[in-house]
Amino acid sequence: MKLNFGILGGGSWGTTVASLLAKNNNTILWARNEDTVNEINTRHMNSKYLPGGELNKNLVASNSIEDTVKNADVIVVGIPSQHFRDALKIAKPYIRPWVPIVSLAKGLELDTKKRMTQIIEEELPGHPAGVLTGPNLAKEIHAGQAAAAVIAMVDDTIAKQLQGSFSTGLFRVYTNDDVIGCELGGALKNILAIASGMGDGANAGDNTRAALITRGLSELTRLGKAMGGKGSTFSGLAGMGDLVATCSSSKSRNYQVGFQLGKGKRLEHIIEEMNEVAEGVKTAKVVMELARDYNVDMPISYEVYKVLYEGNTVYDAFNGLLKIESGSEKEPG
């Protein structure tokens, strides 16, 4: 059965998901930029974020949030986490009751430390809230390369219905009822991707990257479980899968921030030159607060935070990590 999808956000991932959905569903994409809307409707491209790739010809773009969501059976929100709430407030008057809302964002709100589904529940009570997440580098998926993702919702019936809508050939979608764990995996791994990029930028080597990924997964899992996520989630697509992809790929925005830091570039200059948001830069602040709130040790994340916000160098970060006494891998978390 075809569903009507309304997608908010014309960045690389929002556009990629919209194009995938348009293969089997009626899909409208809202983008703020008028040139982007016109290009999608006339040339079936979004050259700013997905250069050289052609979008599904059934995809329609709009500058009107009202037109995008008023007839939607499902709304997908691909807005960066710090603007997520504002977008929902604008869309709220036009959304029909009980329509599921699915987040694509991988971050946490700075002021409240909340996940995106918590924001959905606050702004649109009564609407089933979920997240689509996993090792999903937009440009690879848009180019037709195989990938897997997770649709996480508390209501398994809705998750299974959406699983069929999002799955398209080489894009395989699995279900999960651990919304907390899936969201936290997507948000927390961005900080570790910055750490991995820092190591590569400083020519630390493959062994260092492997150590950062595995010990980073331990950090991610400790905090995720403390906040209510399931341990098994962090060894799956939303945890380990996403972590490996973003810590290893030059296509990852967070990895690229770290890589440039490792080369000695200043953070403000890196951010100025980027087209899209690297969620890990702001999420690092929230994660340090959450680590204190839940009394969870996160040494890698803390060293990244100090590089981003306290003036430490990449070499300070690695020296700091080397000074930490090695414990047992069998320690809790």
Radius of gyration of the chain (CA): 19
- Whose structure tokens read 């059965």? 1
92 among annotated binding-site residues:
no
Q: Is 244 annotated as a binding residue?
A: no
**Is 12 annotated as contributing to ligand binding?**
yes
Task: Judge whether 235 is annotated as a binding position.
Answer: no
Q: Please identify which of the residues 48, 92, 189, 285 carries the catalytic annotation.
A: 189
Cβ atoms 238, 180 nearer than 8 A: no
Q: Find tokens 């992809």 and name the residue.
A: 245
**Residue 301 is labelled as binding a ligand:** no
Distance CA 145, CA 320 (A): 39
70 catalytic per annotation:
no
Exposed e or buried b for every residue in 30-69, given b needs 16+ CB within 10 A?
bbeeeebbebbeeebbbebbbeebebeeebbbbeebeebb
* Ligand-binding site membership of 252 (annotated): yes
Tell me: is residue 47 an annotated ligand-binding position.
no
Say if residue 22 carries a ligand binding annotation: no
The answer on whether 49 is annotated among ligand-binding residues is: yes
Q: Which two tokens stand for residue 218?
A: 């331990």
Is 277 marked within a binding site? yes
Classify 311 in phi/psi space as left (phi over 0), alpha (psi -120 to 50) or beta: left
Output the six-digit token pair for 164: 């069929």
Question: 30 - beta bridge partners?
Answer: 8, 62
Q: Give Cα separations from 86 to 69, 101, 283 (angstroms).
A: 15, 15, 18
Judge whether 316 is annotated as a binding position: no
Q: Residue 113's CB: how many other CB atoms inside 10 A? A: 15
The reply, when asked if residue 330 is annotated as ligand binding, is no
Helix (H) or strand (E) holding 27: strand 26-30
Q: Which residues sit in the known binding site?
A: 12-13, 32, 49, 106, 134, 138, 189, 242, 252-254, 277, 279
Q: Which residues sit in the known binding site for NADPH?
A: 12-13, 32, 49, 106, 138, 253, 277, 279
Q: Which residues sit in the known binding site for sn-glycerol 3-phosphate?
A: 106, 134, 189, 242, 252-254
Catalytic center residues: 189
